[in-house]
């Protein structure tokens, strides 16, 4: 076994600095030190990683394959040191080498290979699968450019490309030997009565492996990301003729496949490149799975005994037809048997009900890019229709479109939603008919990893928890319940308060530095961070902020509870309405923050470029968690769980996992407001719902009036006319209908916050009762109910 001592770590860091980086300590930069430390830490992951792989092979253990177009992993260095139990040692050793550990850690760029919730969930799942000892591979794409960088110019969002790979990525191992040919386009031929696909284009998928180490280093799995390469390297003839650009064309074309992450979250566009990316990931993964399976010497019909494949939303839903193609065309299996084998391996997780986010491909595009798959899909669809006689509007191919949700459903043995409410809606609305024919919908409520989202990001609170209930809660989060009796004691509450305050003071310093705004750590930090989308209703939040501003101006002497409204999040580049909301928030911030009548009573801050590492900074410092989506629209939410763990009560609607948070924490520790999912449906039947709500609410009228008058856009008074018009006439997400209830709930927050003891108790109980939201619990649920896999530990 490797020597895990402090002198050995120091020696390894210096060795890597010298021999891997080729740098003399006297001239090494922060980057060089970070690389040296990362390589030294990575060395300590390799042995447990090999041991895990070996054990899986030796025992013939079933493996899980998690297919996802997104893995939003963020930084890896500190996380790895924490799971190896080397964090404090690393800090100490770096100090001895004259380096500040935080500076080194924060030098690491985020791996931003995802948009939001779905991608971050995949990252939490990878860590939890390693922690609970579930043998697993994550399969994704090694995007050269992750999610775009956001900055504000005159309050407007401006995007620029992200380029995390311009620096060396010390966590991955390139695997040139693990490469597969991915076919596209071309045509079908019949040979000896069999359909043969003659592809028109091919690219190579090359593997890059990142080990993922679980808590206490007991198990490690692999995140295998595919990079695209040309199958024909270079056109030498053209080069020799002097046509250099054309010579390099095949290379450029192939590489576009793994060039950039699509920045659309919840809106779907039928772009051919996206379909190619989805197939590129899926085909490479399945070829790799079959290669590994065959190396074990098993019969293909036994695939489901050894392999569970999970589709993270429909993005890899081509897995059904592709697995059939590989089994039938390349391995000679009968079609019907291949379909049964595929179905027994596959599971599908749905992450959204929003109709605009459900993937549908024009049969024209689909048949052009993947002619053989189009043929297989039609065969599945015919078989399904002839065998089960579904209603005429149900099927995979309808109105010249391939519906990926229906395809994923029919090709999976289990389909799950991501919160109790969401799974219920998937069953009753989205797949009602299909579930009637083939009952297979279950629920697996999301979770988050408490190692990153509590232990790592909130050292003051994590320390207090360990001091209070001892070690071991990190992998047994239900133990946080043991904090409950302490939540009555003033000494504990004072310590809890001190931990939160330390985080707030640190955040206030960061806000000063990054936004130029001075905020008081005594104020209530009210945080809404997530993608900007109409259904998430950042607009409702900013309207309430304006109402508060209006009231402060009218009565500055009242004993206002000081508030800092913190926003964070990106809008999809083409989502004009979301971008307008960003602009409005920034405009309101400019006016409010510079109004001398307001002072510390209200501040609005919106730091640029929200990402995983910013979340790690904001969430531990939050007093209040904003989870205010229109009921029925947020599948689960996972930020909501992170805030709860970090001792921030929620102000929220009965949506997604909020329902279960409320259930766990109790209604006296949650600020509930707003229409329910059912009431939302009813309310929409009244075409005048917005006008009725606005005319009934003087405060809302005042707010809309202020915006319409240009109070926040004096240089362009008409800037928000359209926005205000939309609230009056096209308020699909019921901002107006929920406004008064939200404002009332915010008033209750103020009252509760002013009562220190009451507030601290609420906050502490949120942490104490958050155990259910560990992704370890979620993963155990999938292992038992979907994958039929046992822990290998
Ligand atoms: C093809 C365009 C596209 C891209 C991404 C459509 C839809 C998506 C995702 C499904 C959007 C997403 O991230 N959904 C979120 O998934 C989280 C994890 O389950 C949930 O917590 C969020 O509520 C849900 O919005």
Residue 367 banded pLDDT, cuts 50, 70, 90 = very high
Residue 265 banded pLDDT, cuts 50, 70, 90 = confident
Determine whether the shortest distance from the Cβ of 637 to ligand 1 is under 6 A: yes
What one-character-per-residue DSSP string does 354-379 give? -GGGS-EEEHHHHHHH-HHHHHHHHH
Residues 10-22, buried b or exposed e (16+ Cβ, 10 A)?
Answer: bebbbebbeeebe
Our answer to whether residue 363 is catalytic in this structure is: no
The mean pLDDT value for 462-474 works out to 98
Name the closest-CA residue to atom 12, ligand 1: 118
Burial classification of residue 540, based on how many CB atoms lie within 10 Å of its CB (0-12 exposed, 13-18 middle, 19 or more buried): buried
Domains in the chain: ranges and CATH: 265-444 (3.40.50.2000), 450-675+737-777 (3.40.50.2000)
Our answer to whether residue 730 is catalytic in this structure is: no
Candidate list 360, 530, 617, 711, residue with the active-site label: 530
Q: What are the residues whose beta carbons fall under 8 Å from the beta carbon of 597, sequence distance 6 or more? A: 552, 553, 556
Our answer to whether residue 642 is catalytic in this structure is: yes
Our answer to whether residue 530 is catalytic in this structure is: yes
Helical pair 319-329 and 371-388, crossing angle rounded to 10 deg: 100
Determine whether the shortest distance from the Cβ of 120 to ligand 1 is under 6 A: no
Determine whether the shortest distance from the Cβ of 497 to ligand 1 is under 6 A: no
For residue 490, what are its two tokens?
């003033």
Residue 239 banded pLDDT, cuts 50, 70, 90 = confident
- Residue 330 DSSP class: T
Determine whether the shortest distance from the Cβ of 642 to ligand 1 is under 6 A: no
Q: Is the pLDDT of residue 267 over 90?
A: no
Our answer to whether residue 504 is catalytic in this structure is: no
3-state secondary structure 567-587: EECCCCCCCHHHHHHHHHHHH
In the chain, what's the furthest Cα-to-Cα distance?
89
Determine whether the shortest distance from the Cβ of 264 to ligand 1 is under 6 A: yes
- pLDDT of 1: 62
Q: Is the pLDDT of residue 232 over 80?
A: no
Q: Is the pLDDT of residue 193 over 90?
A: no
Candidate list 343, 531, 617, 689, residue with the active-site label: 531
> Count of residues for the chain?
793
- pLDDT of 234: 67
Determine the residue of 266, 627, 639, 779 to mutate for testing ligand 1's pocket, defined as the one with the most ligand atoms within 8 A of the Cβ atom: 266
Q: Is the pLDDT of residue 107 over 70?
A: yes
Candidate list 42, 536, 548, 583, residue with the active-site label: 536
* Residue 253: Cβ within 10 Å count: 13
The mean pLDDT value for 734-763 works out to 98
Coil, helix or strand for 264? coil
Determine whether the shortest distance from the Cβ of 655 to ligand 1 is under 6 A: no
The mean pLDDT value for 498-508 works out to 98
- pLDDT of 245: 83
- pLDDT of 236: 76
For residue 216, what are its two tokens?
């206490």
> How far does the centroid of ligand 1 lie from the alpha carbon of residue 448, in Å?
15
Name the closest-CA residue to atom 10, ligand 1: 351
- Residue 324 DSSP class: H
> How far does the centroid of ligand 1 lie from the alpha carbon of residue 117, in Å?
6
187 strand-pairing partners: 198
Our answer to whether residue 427 is catalytic in this structure is: no
For residue 197, what are its two tokens?
């696909």
Candidate list 10, 16, 325, 351, residue with the active-site label: 351
């Amino acid at each position: 076994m490797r020597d895990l001592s402090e002198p050995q770590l120091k020696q390894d860091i210096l060795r890597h600095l010298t021999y891997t980086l080729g740098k003399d300590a006297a001239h090494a930069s922060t980057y060089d030190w970070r690389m040296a430390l990362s390589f030294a830490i990575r060395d300590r992951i390799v042995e447990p990683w090999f041991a895990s792989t070996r054990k899986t092979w030796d025992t013939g253990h079933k493996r899980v394959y998690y297919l996802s177009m997104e893995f939003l992993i963020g930084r890896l260095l500190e996380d790895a040191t924490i799971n190896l139990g080397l964090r404090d040692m690393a800090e100490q050793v770096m100090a001895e080498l004259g380096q500040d550990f935080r500076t080194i850690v924060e030098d690491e760029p985020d791996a931003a290979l995802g948009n939001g919730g779905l991608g971050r969930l995949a990252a939490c799942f990878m860590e939890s699968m390693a922690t609970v000892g579930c043998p697993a591979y994550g399969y994704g794409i090694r995007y050269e450019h992750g999610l775009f960088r956001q900055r504000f110019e005159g309050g407007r969002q401006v995007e620029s490309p992200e380029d995390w790979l311009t620096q060396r990525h010390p966590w991955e191992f390139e695997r040139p030997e693990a490469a597969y040919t991915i076919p596209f386009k071309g045509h079908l031929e019949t040979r000896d009565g069999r359909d043969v696909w003659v592809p028109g284009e091919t690219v190579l998928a090359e593997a890059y492996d990142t080990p993922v180490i679980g808590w206490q280093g007991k198990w490690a799995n692999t995140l295998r990301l595919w990079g695209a390469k040309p199958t024909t390297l270079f056109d030498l003839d053209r080069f020799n003729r002097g046509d250099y650009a054309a010579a390099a064309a095949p290379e450029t074309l192939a590489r576009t496949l793994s060039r950039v992450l699509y920045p659309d979250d919840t809106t779907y566009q039928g772009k051919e490149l996206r379909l190619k990316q989805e197939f590129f990931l899926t085909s490479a993964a399945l070829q790799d799975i079959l290669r590994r399976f065959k190396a074990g010497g098993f019969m293909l019909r036994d695939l489901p005994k050894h392999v569970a494949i999970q589709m993270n939303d429909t993005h890899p839903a081509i897995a059904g037809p592709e697995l059939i193609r590989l089994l039938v065309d390349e391995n000679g299996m009968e079609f019907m048997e291949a379909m049964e084998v595929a179905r027994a391996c596959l599971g599908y997780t749905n992450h959204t009900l929003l109709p605009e986010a459900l993937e549908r491909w024009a049969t024209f595009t689909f048949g052009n890019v993947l002619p053989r798959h189009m043929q297989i899909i039609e065969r599945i669809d015919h078989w399904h229709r002839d065998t089960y006689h579904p209603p005429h509007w149900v099927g995979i191919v309808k109105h010249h479109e391939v519906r990926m949700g229906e395809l994923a459903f029919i090709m999976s043995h289990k389909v799950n939603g991501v919160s109790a409410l969401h799974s219920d809606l998937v069953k009753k609305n989205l797949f009602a008919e299909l579930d009637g024919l083939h009952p297979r919908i279950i629920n697996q409520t999301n979770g988050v990893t408490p190692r990153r989202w509590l232990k790592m990001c909130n050292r003051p609170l994590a320390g207090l928890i360990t001091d209070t209930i001892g070690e071991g809660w990190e992998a047994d989060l239900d133990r946080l319940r043991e904090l409950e009796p302490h939540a009555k004691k003033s000494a504990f509450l004072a310590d809890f308060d001190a931990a939160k305050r330390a985080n707030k003071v640190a955040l206030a310093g960061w806000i000063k530095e990054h936004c130029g705004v001075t905020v008081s750590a005594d104020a209530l930090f009210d945080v809404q961070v997530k993608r900007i989308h109409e259904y998430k209703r950042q607009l409702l939040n900013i309207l309430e902020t304006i109402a508060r501003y209006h009231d402060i101006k009218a009565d500055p002497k009242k004993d206002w509870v000081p508030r800092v409204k913190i926003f964070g999040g990106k809008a999809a580049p083409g989502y004009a309405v979301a971008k307008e909301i960003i602009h409005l928030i920034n405009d309101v911030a400019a006016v409010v923050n510079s109004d001398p009548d307001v002072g510390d009573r209200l501040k609005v801050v919106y730091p640029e470029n929200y990402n995983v590492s910013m979340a790690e900074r904001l969430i531990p410092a939050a007093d209040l968690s904003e989870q205010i989506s229109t009921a029925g629209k947020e599948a689960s939410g996972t930020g909501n769980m992170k805030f709860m763990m970090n001792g921030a009560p929620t102000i929220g609607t009965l949506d997604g996992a909020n329902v279960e948070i409320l259930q766990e924490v109790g209604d006296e520790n949650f600020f509930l407001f707003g229409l329910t999912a059912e009431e939302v449906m009813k309310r929409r039947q009244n075409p005048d719902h917005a006008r009725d709500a606005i005319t009934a609410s003087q405060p809302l009228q005042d707010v809309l009036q202020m915006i319409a008058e240009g109070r926040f856009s004096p240089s362009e008074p008409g800037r928000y006319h359209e926005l205000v018009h939309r609230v009056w006439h096209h308020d699909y997400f019921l901002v107006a209908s929920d406004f008064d209830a939200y404002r009332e709930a915010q008033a209750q927050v103020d009252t509760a916050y002013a009562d220190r003891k009451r507030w601290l108790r609420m906050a502490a109980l949120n942490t104490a009762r958050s155990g259910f939201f560990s992704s370890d619990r979620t993963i155990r649920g999938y292992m038992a109910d979907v994958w039929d896999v046992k822990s290998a530990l």
